[in-house]
């Protein structure tokens, strides 16, 4: 998100839940427990960041004797050989960002330096040195987009620490000076003014504090005053973002930014533990230990995500899951991540390898769950079956960082394919993407999501939709969201319920009451081939088939429309919107659509009011104070 847009994020002061006394978070003083006291336990020797030399014997033994570790090591060696031939990064911005170069530097330096530590190949150390000296010579690391600074600082700090003994005195001085001048000192104004990313509650907080703290710990013995100041400020700031995991580990920014936020949250915690021998109690914050389960739940049987907000459909990898598996004693995190990483590990998969656990099966996790903090529910027919039905359904909050206007939207996978799509983000460099034009872009508007549009207009950008009911049984699992606020002032009541029936079919039911007649459109975006006839439609993808049937109201019909916006927005001519059109404008309606993977001739379920659903599974207030 652009700085101008994210500067407007509303952040609040809270009390650190696990600290005694009356320490007010938000004061951002530079003397929490005094900087010199913070560094009393500093490990003086290098390496001291993220992975200690004592841990490497375990990794080497795994590479020698275990198939997954050996496969990952060989893959990483191949990646490193390619890096030897690549030119170092250049200072070229993409839009307002140097972020691509910072991430490239981080990937190269950590991979090359990590493999050098494991095997002693000096070619890798020399190539990492060359990358670091190139970045150190940049005029700056683009502080106006501070993520770039944070990630570059992290990259050079890891290389400085891991290769300390093979760097010359001159090289150390050059890299250390860059970490200090182009990295750490660039954060002081933000910390000092108590604004922007230092006070926000989303991924910028964890990435910036994580990068700064890793950098500070790398040079802490040589610049203790500065390092102590950075560590103290980061300690006061990061709690604001970490409380967002409460109460159950969900993340409002969607799967993509869950991965980004938790990766640097783990860098932060892992660096503290290896360098200082403490995590300041942060691992005990409510919801953090459970957030690995959120990743498992938002990953579908085909390895896609429920990609709400500015997220992509591909799940990607998350080596922080292996660190969390050990830190939280959650072997299932490790089992899931080993399956997800497969042939695409990064160096931290290998260095944090945990061979415990297995990919989830039916007796490991519930087949339906709800995350109250973010108002997202997941329903599935089975674990471990790539053909299983999977529904991701969100109420949520349109004000959340990176959100789209998508309250009530859902995705559907079955028979090994995705039927109902979330299109994800568009190009961040589109004019006003994080500003005044954000809600003009198709992929962010309500009409491009699998929810209702009224009179063709967007939902209220300031509205939220709590999940008010949830039930999980083998015969019927469901969640209900109250979307009334999304369509005010014209609506007096708007609810959506989604149910998985007998683990075979999905029912989407909407109930709407308005103060004046409105045109209601039900949206379902799909890549499938569509054959629609009145109140029935057949969708096909290869040999897979989905039967879709309107059960209510009488006279409603399917209509297929384009889902391809004007250029320069992202083009998707292969995607279409299967809409439900009502016979006329209405002030009261129930729309019920049955989705049957593989077809079938089962009798349509008896429809009951959503008030009946709510009575059967009413949830108490979440109790999470977001204000």
Q: What residues pair up with 581 in beta bridges, in sequence order? A: 521, 557
Distance of CA 518 to the CA centre of its chain: 35
pLDDT for 621 equals 83
- pLDDT level of residue 35 (50, 70, 90 thresholds): low
Question: What is the chain's Cα-based Rg?
Answer: 25
Closest CA to 357 of 340, 344, 371, 376: 340
**More confidently predicted of 603 and 498:** 498
Residue 21: pLDDT over 90: no
pLDDT for 600 equals 73
- DSSP annotation of 303 reads S
- pLDDT level of residue 181 (50, 70, 90 thresholds): very high
User: Hey, what are 432's tokens?
Assistant: 């006003």
- The predicted model gives 82-90 an average pLDDT of 98
Q: What is the pLDDT of residues 230-263, one digit of tens each?
A: 999 999 999 999 999 999 999 999 999 999 999 9
**More confidently predicted of 582 and 20:** 582
- pLDDT level of residue 46 (50, 70, 90 thresholds): very high
- DSSP annotation of 25 reads T
Share of the chain above pLDDT 90, in %: 91
- pLDDT level of residue 20 (50, 70, 90 thresholds): very low
For residue 492, which phi and psi values (nearest 5 degrees)?
-105, -15
Residues 6+ away with beta carbon under 8 Å from 265: 206, 210, 238, 241, 242, 288, 320
Residue 30: pLDDT over 90: no
Query: Which ranges of 122-253 would DSSP assign to H, the alpha helix?
Result: 122-136, 146-162, 169-178, 188-193, 203-218, 224-242
**More confidently predicted of 411 and 30:** 411
Q: Which helix (H) or strand (E) holds 74?
A: helix 67-85
pLDDT for 32 equals 46
- As a whole number of angstroms, the distance between CA 558 and CA 535 comes to 6
- As a whole number of angstroms, the distance between CA 151 and CA 98 comes to 10
pLDDT for 24 equals 35
Share of the chain above pLDDT 70, in %: 93
Mean pLDDT of the chain: 93
For residue 164, which phi and psi values (nearest 5 degrees)?
-50, -45
Q: What is the pLDDT of residues 254-311, one digit of tens each?
A: 999 999 999 999 999 999 999 999 999 999 999 999 999 999 999 999 999 999 999 9
Q: Which domains does the chain have, with CATH numbers?
A: 39-351 (1.50.10.100), 368-617 (2.70.98.70)
Q: What is the pLDDT of residues 605-623, one digit of tens each?
A: 999 999 999 999 999 987 5
Q: What is the pLDDT of residues 158-169, one digit of tens each?
A: 999 999 999 999
- As a whole number of angstroms, the distance between CA 252 and CA 186 comes to 28
Residue 1: pLDDT over 70: no
Closest CA to 307 of 413, 459, 463, 466: 413
Q: What is the pLDDT of residues 552-570, one digit of tens each?
A: 999 999 999 999 999 999 9
């Amino acid at each position: 998100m652009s700085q101008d847009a994210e500067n407007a994020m509303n952040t609040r002061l809270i009390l650190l839940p696990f600290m005694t006394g009356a320490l007010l978070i938000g004061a951002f003083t530079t003397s929490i427990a005094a900087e010199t006291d913070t560094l009393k336990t500093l490990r003086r020797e290098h390496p001291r960041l993220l992975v200690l030399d004592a841990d490497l014997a375990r990794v080497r033994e795994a590479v020698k004797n275990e198939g997954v570790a050996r496969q990952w090591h060989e893959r990483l060696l191949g990646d490193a050989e390619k890096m030897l031939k690549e030119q170092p990064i250049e200072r070229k911005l993409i839009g307002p960002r140097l972020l691509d170069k910072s991430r490239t530097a981080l990937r190269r330096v950590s991979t090359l330096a990590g493999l050098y530590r494991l095997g002693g190949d000096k070619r890798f150390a020399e190539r990492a040195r060359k990358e670091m000296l190139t970045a150190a010579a940049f005029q700056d690391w683009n502080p106006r987009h501070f993520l770039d600074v944070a990630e570059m600082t992290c990259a050079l700090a890891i290389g400085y620490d891991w290769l300390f003994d093979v760097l010359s005195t001159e090289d150390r001085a050059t890299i250390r000076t860059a970490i200090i001048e182009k990295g750490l000192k660039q954060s002081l104004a933000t910390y000092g003014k108590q604004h922007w990313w230092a006070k926000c509650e989303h991924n910028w907080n964890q990435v910036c504090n994580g990068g700064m703290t890793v950098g500070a710990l790398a040079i802490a013995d040589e610049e203790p005053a500065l390092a102590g100041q950075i560590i103290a400020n980061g300690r006061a700031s990061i709690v604001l973002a970490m409380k967002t995991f409460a109460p159950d580990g969900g993340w409002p920014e969607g799967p993509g930014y869950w991965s980004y936020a938790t990766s640097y949250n783990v860098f932060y915690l892992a660096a503290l533990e290896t360098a200082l021998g403490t995590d300041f109690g942060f691992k005990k914050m409510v919801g953090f230990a459970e957030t690995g389960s959120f990743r498992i739940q938002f990953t579908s049987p085909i390895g896609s995500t429920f990609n709400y907000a500015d997220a992509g459909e591909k799940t990607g990898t998350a080596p922080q899951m292996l660190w969390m598996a050990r830190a939280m004693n959650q072997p299932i995190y490790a089992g899931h991540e080993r399956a997800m990483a497969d042939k695409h590990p990064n160096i931290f998969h290998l260095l944090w390898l945990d061979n415990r656990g297995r990919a989830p099966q039916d007796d490991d996790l519930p087949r339906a769950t709800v995350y109250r903090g973010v108002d997202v529910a997941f329903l599935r027919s089975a674990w471990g079956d790539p053909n299983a039905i999977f529904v991701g359904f969100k109420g949520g909050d349109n004000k959340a960082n990176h959100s789209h206007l998508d309250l009530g939207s859902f995705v559907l996978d079955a028979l090994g394919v995705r039927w109902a799509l979330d299109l994800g983000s568009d190009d961040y460099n589109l004019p006003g993407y994080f500003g005044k034009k954000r809600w003009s872009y198709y992929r962010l508007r309500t009409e491009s999501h699998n929810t209702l549009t009224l009179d063709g207009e967007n939902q209220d950008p300031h509205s939220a939709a709590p999940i008010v009911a949830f039930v999980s049984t083998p015969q019927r699992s469901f969640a209900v969201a109250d979307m009334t606020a999304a369509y005010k002032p014209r609506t007096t009541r708007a609810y959506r319920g989604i149910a998985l029936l007998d683990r075979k079919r999905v029912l989407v039911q909407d109930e709407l009451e308005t103060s004046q007649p409105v045109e209601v459109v039900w949206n379902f975006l799909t890549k499938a081939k569509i054959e629609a006839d009145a109140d029935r439609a057949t969708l096909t993808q290869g040999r897979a088939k989905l039967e879709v049937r309107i059960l209510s109201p009488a006279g409603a019909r399917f209509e297929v429309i384009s889902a391809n916006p004007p250029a320069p927005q992202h083009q998707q001519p292969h995607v279409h919107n299967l809409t439900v059109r009502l016979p006329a404008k209405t002030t009261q309606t129930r729309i019920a659509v049955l989705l049957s993977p593989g077809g079938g001739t089962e009798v349509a379920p008896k429809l009951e009011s959503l008030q009946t659903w709510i009575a059967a599974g009413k949830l108490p207030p979440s109790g999470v104070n977001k204000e």
